[in-house]
Amino acid sequence: MPSQILQISQLPPKSSSSSTQMMFKSLIYDDPSTTLLSSSSSSSTRFDDNHNSVKPLLSRASSFNGAVTAKNGGGLTGWFQNRRRRSNSDNCLSAFQDHTNGSDGGNSGGDRQTIGQEVGHAAAETFLLTRLCLKLLSYLGVGYRWITRFMALGCYAFLLMPGFIQVGYYYFFSPYVRRSIVYGDQPRNRLDLYLPRNSNGPKPVVAFVTGGAWIIGYKAWGSLLGQQLSERDIIVACIDYRNFPQGSISDMVKDASSGISFVCNHIAEYGGDPNRIYLMGQSAGAHIAACTLVEQVIKESGEGDSVSWSSGQINGYFGLSGGYNLLCLVDHFHSRGLYRSIFLSIMEGEESLRQYSPELVVQNPDLKHIIARLPPIILFHGTADYSIPSDASKSFAETLQRLGAKAEVILYEGKTHTDLFLQDPMRGGKDEMFEDIVSVVLGEDQEASGKSVDRRRLVPEFMLKLAHWVSPF
């Protein structure tokens, strides 16, 4: 049933205010020799619960199509069967199997790292993660709200530790994980590849942008998803990017675009199919990936710079627990502890919120021609998500549908922000959201998509239930 077009507003130009630039530039740490955040900037700004700052601004799988309705058996893949098969294989190098596990992706299999080197790398990664957590705490302050959240986070991590240890062992020691492949010349321009065990033909690819509140995002956060999908003959590329205060939202989008470009142009070297690439993001990563995709189609429409990859190479976009209209979320984030001042600094000022809100950008009447270039979009969200309410995905899907894009949202009843991404996969057995993704990626390969895998349990059930209860997310 056709719907009326939403009222549309002009997209204001990005402000060039010198005060905003000066405020933000002082927080940027751009040492290109390391991925660690600068400790010198942590004392420059503090935030607590009393901080006053600049004004800002169903059923388990339900399909939102104007209204929320139940998803039938073929609803997820039905409209995907008619999607365009885009081919830009001439942008990719000829395929050959890579045998490295290092950062350069170009050594022979005989140069595989020793156990000592692996342990050293694991120690360095652990040190980085510790610094990221401390950096987050330094920016959020030590008010009562964040003290209690930090304690809850510690309990949550402890309860899931049996699963984290097993996933960490796979990440550091599996020969099918290619870590820290360089894709650009900026700090943290690295990605991890998760490769299937067999190499019988080109594999579909999921380029994944991890979450982390734009502050503690890290490529290793996608290791559980990478392990799952690679077991189903799907290559996963987890893209790292600069976080705040090392970079702002424009830097994050630029890094994500460079990572996607690397995947599109080089994945054939690792056994991937350049004609079957999907883009996925989780939480803040879903927002960054959506911004990157929308910015790319604008560039291709002649509204921006030259491009190194094409949106036509992306067969579909998966957004997991993401937010796409920042004007509607800035106050919600403030109430959850991501204070308005720091959020506006991440987003480069209040005047930039519209520019980095994909739901608002696509409604710009001057950009209505970009809708046809967007790939099919599926948004996944739990109805009990308090970090980013599920209404964020429903609103974005409804907007896209009204404008003529192919979009769908799948809701999971009672699932929180982390249930879909962590607790459910660690529970073992069949993972509903995971099977929904696989059914799309392998939709045309009925034999492969039908081989459902019952994964082993990583964490006892009582610990998963306690983690669900104490989760600060």
Active site residues: 283, 385, 417
- The residues facing 192 across adjacent strands are 238
Dihedral of the alpha carbons of 89, 104, 29, 48, in degrees to the nearest 10:
80
Give CA–CA dist 431/435, Å, rounded.
6
The number of angstroms, rounded, from the C-alpha of 37 to the middle of its chain's C-alpha atoms is 20
Residues 322 and 281: beta-carbon distance below 8 Å: yes
Residues 247 and 212: beta-carbon distance below 8 Å: no
Could you tell me the end-to-end alpha-carbon distance of the chain, in angstroms, rounded to an integer?
A: 37
Residue 4, Cβ density class (10 Å: 0-12 exposed, 13-18 middle, ≥19 buried): exposed
Task: Kindly give the residue spans of alpha helices, DSSP state H, lying in 274-326.
Answer: 284-298
Residue 327 is which amino acid? L
Give CA–CA dist 208/278, Å, rounded.
9
What is the phi/psi pair of residue 231, to 5°?
-70, -15
Tokens of 98: 């890579």
Q: Which residue has the tokens 């399909």?
A: 63
Determine how many CB atoms are found less than 10 A away from the CB of residue 391: 14
Q: What angle do the packed helices 161-173 and 223-230 form, to 10 degrees?
A: 70
Residue 58, Cβ density class (10 Å: 0-12 exposed, 13-18 middle, ≥19 buried): middle
Of the candidates 252, 230, 295, the residue with the CA atom closest to the CA atom of residue 442: 230
Tokens of 362: 């696509």
Rg of the chain over all Cα atoms, to the nearest angstrom: 21
Which residues have a Cβ under 8 Å from the Cβ of 6 and sit 6 or more positions away?
363, 399, 402, 403
Stated as kind and residue range, the H or E segment containing 396 is helix 391-402
Give CA–CA dist 336/472, Å, rounded.
10
Tokens of 440: 């799309």
